[in-house]
Copies of this chain bind each other. A is one copy, B any other.
Amino acid sequence: MKARDFLDTTDLSPTEFAQILDLAAQLKSGRLRADQALRGRVLTMVFMDPSLRTRTSFEVAMVRHGGHAVVLEPGRSSWALETRRGVVMDGASVEHIAEAARVLGRYADAVALRAFPKGTSWDEERHDRTLRDFAQYCEKPLINLESTRRHPCQGLADALLLRERLGVTQGRRFTLTWGPHPKALPTAVPASAALAAAQLGMQVTIAHPPGFDLDADDISAIERAAQGAGGSLQITHDQSAALNGAEAVYVKSWGAVRCFGRPDDEAALRVPHRGWKFSTALLNRAAPSAFVMHCLPVRRNVEIDEDVLDGPQAAVIDQAENRLHVQRALLLRMLADESALGNEVCS
């Protein structure tokens, strides 16, 4: 995977996907240390939107292997970045990503970018142009830290948790259930979580209120991934039925893409569904061994009741910890000299 971008978990072949999870498990267990495998290597992270887990876990991932991460926040600690092509830059944006991406690529061994949607037009933003353009301009590998369409590092962490908890994942029941939220959130996480479960060959069920369909291309990608790995995809508006017998439950809120750019219409569609809040009663519909996932940050008592979050079936902290380990694996595969890893990685 050297010298390649990592923009989506489907950029990985099934073999590569499994190899990263295997490597992450070895690193997490301490069987593989590779303490200095990234010595002298630099990852530059560009956060056009805020972050806690992503920023911290990537910075620590580099440091754990002797490397370093530079953290940039355009518009705060550095210049606001222009992303439109061909624009006459006489407004507020000081620098174009055409220059920024190329220059940052010269200074670092890899670059990582977080760029959320701006909420103007889905027809426009669904192309993930900021991420794609940045990748095209940058001469070094680019890692997607969450774009309009995908959060692939979260998907890898989710996949590692599913493998840890379930062992064999093929044919097991994964339910993604929509949650209420005071804001219209992006769809990158639910799409990436469902994709990851599909890539593991699970029976994926997505439950959401009417009008909250994911982008049709996301659904096609999840279906393709499920078919390729021996799994399946079902979509329903019946939350309760979707949870019946679920072995893994993923709660996540997202906004109605069909109302993208029209916040009042979107809120009118979203607000009536506060009853989708995930509770102990809903959890009791799932399998007794079921565990509850969420990407965090979570709105306590709005998306999920605190009884669930603080209870024994919550897996959200372990899931967040896995961000660190899958990213260590990703960075080692992307940036480490094979000689520095020796036979360790090949095992």
Contacts and interface: CB of A to CB of B under 8 A. Distances in A.
A16 interface: no
A237 interface: no
Q: A interface, how many residues as a size bin? A: 35 or more
Contact of A52 (B55, B74, B91): B74
A320 B100 CA distance: 10
Given A70-B56, A70-B60, A100-B52, A76 B78 contact: no
Contacts of A63: 40, 42, 68
B321 A107 contact: yes
A314 to B, nearest CB: 10
B317 A99 contact: yes
Contact of A70 (B35, B59, B106): B59
Contact of A103 (B76, B78, B321): B321
Contact of A77 (B71, B103, B302): B71
26 contacts: A42-B64, A50-B76, A50-B78, A50-B79, A55-B77, A56-B70, A56-B104, A56-B108, A71-B77, A76-B76, A77-B77, A82-B300, A88-B300, A89-B302, A90-B182, A90-B302, A96-B300, A99-B309, A99-B316, A103-B296, A103-B320, A103-B321, A106-B320, A106-B321, A106-B324, A107-B324
A317 B47 contact: no
A297 B99 contact: yes
A300 B83 CA distance: 12
A306 interface: yes
Interface in A186-215: none
Nearest to A61: B107
A301 B86 CA distance: 8
B35 A40 contact: yes
Given A76-B76, A82-B300, 4 more contacts: A52-B79, A57-B107, A88-B300, A106-B324
A59 B260 CA distance: 39
A13 interface: no
Most central of A35, A91, A296, A321 by chain B CB within 10 Å: A296
What is the oligomeric copy number?
Answer: 3
A47 B73 CA distance: 14
Contact of A60 (B78, B107, B310, B324): B107
A108 B70 contact: no
A289 interface: no
B78 A55 contact: yes
A299 B107 contact: no
A94 interface: yes
B301 A88 contact: yes
What 4 pairs between A and B have smallest CB-CB spacing? A95-B297, A106-B321, A52-B78, A89-B299
Nearest to A96: B300
